[in-house]
Structure 1
């Protein structure tokens, strides 16, 4: 993953703060954070697979 796609610690803290202000429970906020991380990992894998040249 490159830096532009990285879900930074600062972003995670901001999301956690916003969730608290919106009264979103931790048991909901944590899975949402994990979902973002998983989506980023899947995107990175997809890019790696699609950019790989197939050897003939």
Structure 2
């Protein structure tokens, strides 16, 4: 009967964990960027502030 190659299996598990971590970090970054894009579109509406028009009294 053949012996199990534990080093190979461990390396494969480590690579899978690394791949999952990178995917999670990528999704988290995309979500953060997506949320930032929505917030930049109308900052006055999000904070409840009213934008005042500029006057030409100079």
Q: Could you state the TM-score of these two structures normalised by the residue count of structure 1?
A: 0.51
- Equivalent pairs, count: 35
Q: Structure 1, unaligned stretches of length 5 or more?
A: 1-21
Quick one: which of 18, 29, 36 aligns to 1:38? 18
Q: Structure 2, unaligned stretches of length 5 or more?
A: 41-58
Return structure 1 stretches of 4+ with deviation > 6 angstroms.
none
- The higher relative CO (CA closer than 8 Å, separation ≥ 6) is in 1
From the CA coordinates, give the structure whose radius of gyration is larger.
2
Q: CA RMSD in A?
A: 2.0
Which one has the bigger helix percentage? 1
Q: Could you state the TM-score of these two structures normalised by the residue count of structure 2?
A: 0.49
